[in-house]
Amino acid sequence: MQAVILVGGEGTRLRPLTSTVPKPVVPLVDRPFMAYMLEWLSRHGVEDVVMACGFLPTMLREALGDGARYGVRLTFVEEPEPMGTGGALRYAAEQLPGGLGERFLMLNGDVLTDADVRAQIDQHEATGARATLGLVPVEDPSAYGLVRLSADRKVAGFLEKPKAEEIDTNLISAGIYVLEHSVLDLIEPGRNVSIEREVWPALVGAGLYGTAHEGAYWLDIGTPDRYLEGSRDILAGAVRTAVRERLDAHGLARGEACRVDGHLRGPVVLGDGCVVEEGAVVGPHVVLGDRVHVAPGATVEDAVVLSDAVVGRGSVVRGAILAAGAHVGADCTITGHAVLGEGVRLGAGNVVGHGMRLFPGVELPDGAVAF
C-alpha cells in the first residue's frame, strides 16, 4: 500500500515555530512531527510514502532521509507552485515513475493520530468504494465542516460552518483518505484543485463512503495551543507512540550527558546535554531539547523548550514554547501560550503572555515588555 502525504503548506498558523523550518520537521517531543505519522503508517502495513512538498523541501529531505528509520521508503515530489490538495495529489501521481497503485492512501500532513487505518482500508474494500473518508467525532461540531453519513456508511452530504439548528452530526474529516486510482480522473491536471470542495461533493452518491474512527486519538497540530496539547498527550500516553516507552517509572527520560541538580517532576523528556541547575524545577509535562540550560531557581512547567535555549535565573516558563536558541534572561515570566521564535533574546524582567509571539531574531532589553 502506498500513501501520499500533503506537506506543501507553510504552516502559517504555527509561526514563529515554522518561520525557519517546515512544519513536518518541527520537533515534537523527541522527533520531527512527521515521524509520528510515518511510524503510524508503518504499523498499519504501509511501506511506500510519497511526500508532496512545497515549502522548504530541502530541509524536509535532510531531516527525514529515506524513511528507513521510521519503517517506510520515502519519495519526495516538489510541486512547482501551490496547487491545492487535489492538484498536489494529481501532480505527485504524474511525477512518480511507476505512478500510484490502483488503491492508495492520501493524508493531510498536520495530523497526530492513532486511528485504525487498516480498518478503514478493510471497509473500503468491503463496500467497493471509490473513496473512503476517515472521520472523527468532535465535542464542538459548530467549529468545523461536518460530514453526514447514512446508515450504510455512504457519505450523504457536507455541512460547512453550520448553524446550531442545522447540526445533526459530530463527524468531521480526519484528513485520512483511502482512494481508488480512478479518483485521479476527477482532478484536472495542472490546475489548483481542492479535493475537499470539488472532488468529494462530486462523489456523493457515486462511491463516496466514510469510516467513523470512534475512540481514536486525533489532533490537528496546526497552532501553538494544539502543539502544546499534542506534546502533553504524547507524554501522558493519550496517543499511542514510541515516546511513552522511553519514560521510566517516574515518567522521566533523559538523553546522554545531562546534568540535573534541580528537581524533575514527570512526565519530562530531556534531550542530550541538558543542564538543570540547583533550585530549578522542571515539570510536569515538559520537553527540553538538546543542550537546554535551565538556570538556578527557574521553573519550567507544561512547556516545550527546544534545543540550545536558555531559561534564566529565577524565570518562569509555564504553558509556553521556546524555539531553538531562544534566550530568556533572569526573572522573566513566559506564560499563556506565548511563543518565542528561534534565537529570540529577552533581557531580565520581561513578562510575555496572552499568546504573544516573538518572531526569530527579536531582541528585547531588560524590562521592555509586560504583556
Rounded to 10 deg, the angle between the 33-43 and 57-64 helix axes is 60
Between CA 112 and CA 195 the distance in angstroms is 21
Between CA 215 and CA 64 the distance in angstroms is 30
Element (H, E) at 124: helix 117-127
CB-based contact 185:94 (threshold 8 Å) = no
Between CA 62 and CA 52 the distance in angstroms is 15
Between CA 173 and CA 197 the distance in angstroms is 12
Residue 111's nearest CA partner among 221, 223, 251, 33 is 221
Q: Is 161 a catalytic residue?
A: yes
CA 199 and chain centroid, separation: 25
- What letter represents residue 323's amino acid? A
* Active-site entry in 23, 154, 161, 163: 161
Q: Which three cell numbers stand for residue 139?
A: 465535542
Q: How many CB atoms lie within 10 A of CB 6?
A: 24
Whether the ω angle into residue 22 lies within 30 degrees of 0, i.e. cis, is no
Residues forming the active site = 161
